[in-house]
């Protein structure tokens, strides 16, 4: 039996031609042809890392004392924490909270939940904000405004609304309810925070939103909710060690990047489905979709040539989406790769009772557990897809723990960085998103 914090097990076999045909699967010679390029990419990444140019890779080794002590203070002083952020400034926290706390944590009765409820508000929908304000007592709530640039329209708009409400409801000392997580020096929020005296946390320079889950962006909300963030980082550290092995075949991030790159550019797999068979990992899939989409979806390559790269990421939840998406995946266009996330041991064991033993269509379930069932469903889906020649791979977590989730998120970040280099694009910018931000401002200014 594997240790609960043991290494993730990654099975690529069904991405290969041997499993899903030469037409749809990756051939060993295609992997071979990218080995040199990938080794060069790993060397480039490692040299950029040494020169401090890829600080996201070193986040697992940071000092987290300040994050922990502030989270203790907030946890002791408030009933609720509300995150105001969007995109990379919200999805990491959401992923960690959903993966590593009780599935219905925010609606548990107070006695069953020791620390504050944590809500993530990542939109500018007035009805949603009003709904959230109905739920909380603003005088007992802390707000964590998260924006790297300090000026993202959605986050700043929500912040301005909340700031006014806090001033009105609390009067003197309202500033104690705000924690600003932003760039250490630059941006409007940094200036406002220092002018008005908010407590602040820093997003290290050079770490972009979607690579910021291991900064206070993800770690502070997680710590307020009582998650062991040190263990998250130690999981990321162990994946870091695995991702820098010399042989490409033993480096899971390189293999994931190479296989998806070939599937996309040589086998017409335009869509990358991520399918956790675990409710806890559903938001990790959302986080991954942003990471894969925003990092790889680029118009220009590094030489300025128009390339329009990227695979469209899609989330599907097992077993729920077997009854929604799966028909399409098995029989529709063969234009997808599927990555399963599987959990070997769930925290809870729920036995299915042995009843109706004379009814064949029900009795076969009796005596099995729900975790056996969900994993059997994952296996069945994998077999069905493979039979239909649909390339797929599986990442297995021994259990969902801070350590294994740390491993998973770090793996996917490094895989994305390597894939960006295979496409020869910059995985760390987002000119399309930036243009959307600019245009929104222009439209509002004209009104």
Shortest reach from residue 217's CB to ligand PA5, in Å: 8
Beta carbon nearer to ligand PA5, 203 or 255: 203
Report the 10 Å Cβ neighbour count for 25: 23
Helices (H), 78-176: 91-100, 126-135, 153-170
Beta carbon nearer to ligand PA5, 357 or 434: 434
Residue 149-188 contact track with ligand PA5, rule CB under 6 A, x = bound: x--x--x---------------------------------
Say if strands 392-397 and 9-11 run parallel, antiparallel, or are unpaired.
Answer: antiparallel
Token pair 């993800």 is found at: 218
Q: Cis (ω within 30 of 0) for the bond into 319?
A: yes
Beta carbon nearer to ligand PA5, 180 or 316: 180
Residue 71-90 contact track with ligand PA5, rule CB under 6 A, x = bound: ---------------xxxx-
The one catalytic residue in 35, 186, 270, 437 is 437
Task: Characterize 405-415 residue by residue with b for buried, 16 or more Cβ atoms within 10 angstroms of its Cβ, and e for exposed.
Answer: bbbbbbbbbbb
Whether 24 is a known active-site residue: answer no
When asked if residue 430 is in the footprint of ligand PA5 (CB under 6 A), the reply is yes
Say if strands 312-315 and 271-276 run parallel, antiparallel, or are unpaired.
Answer: parallel
Beta carbon nearer to ligand PA5, 333 or 432: 432
Cβ contacts of 62 within 8 Å, gap of 6 or more: 204, 214, 233
Whether 36 is a known active-site residue: answer no
Q: What residues numbered 275-314 form the site for ligand PA5, per CB under 6 A? A: 294
When asked if residue 238 is in the footprint of ligand PA5 (CB under 6 A), the reply is no
Among 24, 148, 298, 390, binds ligand PA5 (CB under 6 A): 148
The one catalytic residue in 294, 298, 382, 413 is 294
Shortest reach from residue 327's CB to ligand PA5, in Å: 32
343 token code pair: 């959990």
Beta carbon nearer to ligand PA5, 86 or 296: 86
Beta carbon nearer to ligand PA5, 182 or 223: 182
34 token code pair: 């990218």
Beta carbon nearer to ligand PA5, 94 or 404: 94
Q: What residues numbered 365-404 form the site for ligand PA5, per CB under 6 A? A: none
When asked if residue 92 is in the footprint of ligand PA5 (CB under 6 A), the reply is no
Which residue has the CB atom at the shortest distance from ligand PA5?
A: 209
Q: How many residues make contact with ligand PA5 (CB under 6 A)?
A: 15
When asked if residue 124 is in the footprint of ligand PA5 (CB under 6 A), the reply is no
When asked if residue 334 is in the footprint of ligand PA5 (CB under 6 A), the reply is no
Tell which residue, 84, 64, 95, 89, has the closest CA to residue 198: 84
Cβ contacts of 350 within 8 Å, gap of 6 or more: 369, 370, 371
User: 135, exposed or middle or buried, with CB in 10 Å at 0-12, 13-18, 19+?
Assistant: middle
CB 148 within 8 A of CB 210: no
Shortest reach from residue 443's CB to ligand PA5, in Å: 17
Whether 382 is a known active-site residue: answer no
Beta carbon nearer to ligand PA5, 215 or 223: 215
Helices (H), 171-297: 188-196, 216-224, 229-243, 252-266, 282-296
When asked if residue 25 is in the footprint of ligand PA5 (CB under 6 A), the reply is no
When asked if residue 209 is in the footprint of ligand PA5 (CB under 6 A), the reply is yes
369 token code pair: 């557990």
When asked if residue 117 is in the footprint of ligand PA5 (CB under 6 A), the reply is no
Please give the Cα distance from 233 to 61 (Å, whole number): 7
Cβ contacts of 2 within 8 Å, gap of 6 or more: 9, 344, 398
Please give the Cα distance from 18 to 179 (Å, whole number): 53
Shortest reach from residue 437's CB to ligand PA5, in Å: 7
**Alpha carbon of residue 32 to chain centroid:** 30
The one catalytic residue in 247, 323, 361, 447 is 323
Shortest reach from residue 79's CB to ligand PA5, in Å: 26
Please give the Cα distance from 322 to 2 (Å, whole number): 28
Shortest reach from residue 294's CB to ligand PA5, in Å: 5
Q: Which residues bind ligand PA5 (CB under 6 A)?
A: 86-89, 147-149, 152, 155, 208-210, 294, 430, 433
Which amino acids are annotated catalytic?
294, 323, 437
């Amino acid at each position: 039996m594997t240790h609960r914090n043991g290494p993730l097990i990654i099975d690529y076999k069904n991405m290969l031609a041997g499993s899903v045909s030469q037409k749809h699967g990756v051939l060993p010679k295609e992997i071979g042809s990218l080995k040199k390029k990938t080794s060069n990419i790993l060397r480039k990444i490692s040299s950029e890392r040494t020169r401090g140019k890829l600080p996201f890779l070193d986040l697992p080794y940071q000092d987290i004392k300040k994050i922990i002590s502030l989270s203790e203070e907030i946890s002791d002083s408030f009933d609720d924490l509300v995150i105001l952020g969007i995109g990379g400034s919200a999805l990491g926290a959401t992923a960690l909270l959903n993966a590593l706390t009780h599935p219905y944590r925010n609606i548990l009765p107070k006695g069953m939940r020791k620390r504050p409820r944590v809500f993530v508000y990542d939109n500018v929908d007035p009805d949603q904000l009003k709904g959230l304000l109905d739920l909380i007592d603003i005088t007992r709530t802390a707000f964590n405004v998260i924006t790297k640039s300090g000026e993202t329209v959605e986050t700043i708009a929500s912040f301005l609304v909340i700031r006014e409400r806090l001033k009105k409801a609390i009067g003197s000392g309202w500033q104690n309810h705000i924690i600003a997580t932003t760039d250490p020096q630059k941006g409007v929020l940094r200036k406002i925070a220092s002018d008005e005296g908010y407590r602040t946390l820093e997003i290290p320079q050079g770490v972009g939103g979607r690579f910021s889950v291991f900064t206070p962006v993800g770690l502070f909300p997680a710590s307020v909710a009582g998650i062991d963030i040190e263990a998250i980082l130690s999981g990321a550290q162990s994946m870091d060690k695995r991702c820098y092995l010399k042989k490409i075949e033993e480096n899971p991030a390189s293999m994931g990047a190479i296989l998806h790159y070939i599937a996309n550019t040589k086998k017409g797999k335009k869509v990358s489905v991520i399918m956790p068979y675990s409710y806890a990992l559903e938001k990790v899939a959302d986080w991954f979709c942003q990471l894969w989409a925003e990092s790889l979806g680029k118009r220009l390559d590094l030489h300025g040539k128009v390339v329009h790269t990227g695979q469209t990421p899609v989330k599907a939840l097992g077993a729920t989406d077997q009854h929604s998406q799966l028909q399409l995946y098995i029989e529709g266009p063969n234009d997808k790769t599927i990555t399963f996330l599987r959990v070997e041991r769930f925290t809870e064991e729920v036995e299915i009772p042995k009843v109706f033993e004379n009814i064949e269509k029900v009795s076969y379930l009796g005596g099995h557990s729900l975790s056996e069932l969900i994993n059997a469903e994952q296996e069945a889906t994998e077999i069905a897809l493979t039979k239909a020649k649909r390339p797929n791979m599986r990442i297995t977590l021994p259990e969902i723990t801070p350590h294994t989730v740390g491993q998973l998120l770090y793996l996917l970040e490094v895989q994305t960085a390597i894939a960006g280099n295979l496409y020869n694009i910059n995985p760390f910018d987002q000119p399309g998103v930036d243009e959307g931000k600019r245009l929104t401002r222009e439209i509002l200014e004209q009104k």
